[in-house]
């Protein structure tokens, strides 16, 4: 009678040796690189961005900015190819009780919060239009954040006449402090953004 046990033992040894060799040749697992933190711009979602249609002079842009990140973000600048200059503005009540607009150095948005840019409140001031903005036009606006990141917005132009606001007359204001003027002073109206807050868009 033949014995087949030695053959089986030898085959098993070969299989085990091959398995050990394969394990030895496997490349070591490299540690995962930590994810880069999101920039401020990447944390922000813009919605309902629009700009008031205007032939020349001044106008303003509005919308909402929601911070979906885990850290606060700060908008520090704004620019557009349709204007010679843009500023971040807020509307506040002065000592006489009149609502006036003035430039600010930044807008802060906490995690999970939404910044409303609207007539009668914070807004993006557009000065020195280089061409008319007609209702239906799409205007590209770029926000710059405190970390240097940027967010490109597309604002759709709308006809808007809240409280008969006017943004004309920027040439007449060259020797005046723009921060002390309300929008009503620019076009003969007695009303600034604050008076238009409840108007229909």
Distance separating alpha carbons of residues 90 and 101, to the nearest angstrom: 6
CATH of domain 41-196: 2.60.40.1890
Each domain of the chain, given as residue ranges in start order, spans: 41-196
Structure confidence by residue, pLDDT tens digits, 114-154: 999 999 899 999 999 999 999 999 999 999 999 999 999 99
The confidence score (pLDDT) of residue 98 equals 87
Distance separating alpha carbons of residues 105 and 6, to the nearest angstrom: 86
Any idea which residue has 């926000």 for tokens?
143
pLDDT at 16 over 70: no
Sign of the four-CA dihedral 170, 175, 179, 183: negative
Residues written for the chain: 201
| Other Cβ atoms closer than 10 A to 95 | 5
The confidence score (pLDDT) of residue 2 equals 52
Q: Are 158 and 53 in contact (CB under 8 A)?
A: yes
| Other Cβ atoms closer than 10 A to 187 | 15
The confidence score (pLDDT) of residue 145 equals 99
The confidence score (pLDDT) of residue 120 equals 87
pLDDT at 185 over 50: no
pLDDT at 8 over 70: no
Distance separating alpha carbons of residues 92 and 100, to the nearest angstrom: 6
Q: Is 69 helix (H, G, I), strand (E, B) or coil?
A: coil
Structure confidence by residue, pLDDT tens digits, 34-64: 677 789 999 999 999 999 999 999 999 999 9
| Other Cβ atoms closer than 10 A to 36 | 7
Average pLDDT over residues 11-30: 57
C-alpha separations of 170 from 127, 128, 164, 185 in Å: 7, 7, 17, 11
Any idea which residue has 């723009």 for tokens?
178
Mean pLDDT of the chain: 78
Q: Are 152 and 42 in contact (CB under 8 A)?
A: no
């Amino acid at each position: 009678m033949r014995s087949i046990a030695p053959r089986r033992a030898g085959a098993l040894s070969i299989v085990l040796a091959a398995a050990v060799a394969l394990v030895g040749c496997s490349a070591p697992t490299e540690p995962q690189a930590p994810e880069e933190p999101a920039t401020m711009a990447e944390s922000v979602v813009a919605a309902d961005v629009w700009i008031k249609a205007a032939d020349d002079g001044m106008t303003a842009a509005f919308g909402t900015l929601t911070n979906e990140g885990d850290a606060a973000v700060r908008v520090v600048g704004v620019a557009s190819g349709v204007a010679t200059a843009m500023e971040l503005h807020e509307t506040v009540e002065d000592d006489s009780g009149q609502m006036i607009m003035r430039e600010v150095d930044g807008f802060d948005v906490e995690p999970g919060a939404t910044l409303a840019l609207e007539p009668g409140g914070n807004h993006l001031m557009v000065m020195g239009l280089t061409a008319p903005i007609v209702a239906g036009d799409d205007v590209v606006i770029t926000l710059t954040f405190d970390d240097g990141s940027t967010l490109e917005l597309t604002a759709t132009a709308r006809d808007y006449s809240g409280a008969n606001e006017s943004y004309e007359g920027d040439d007449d204001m060259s020797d005046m402090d723009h921060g002390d003027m309300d929008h009503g002073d620019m076009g003969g109206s007695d009303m600034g953004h604050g008076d238009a807050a409840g108007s229909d868009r």
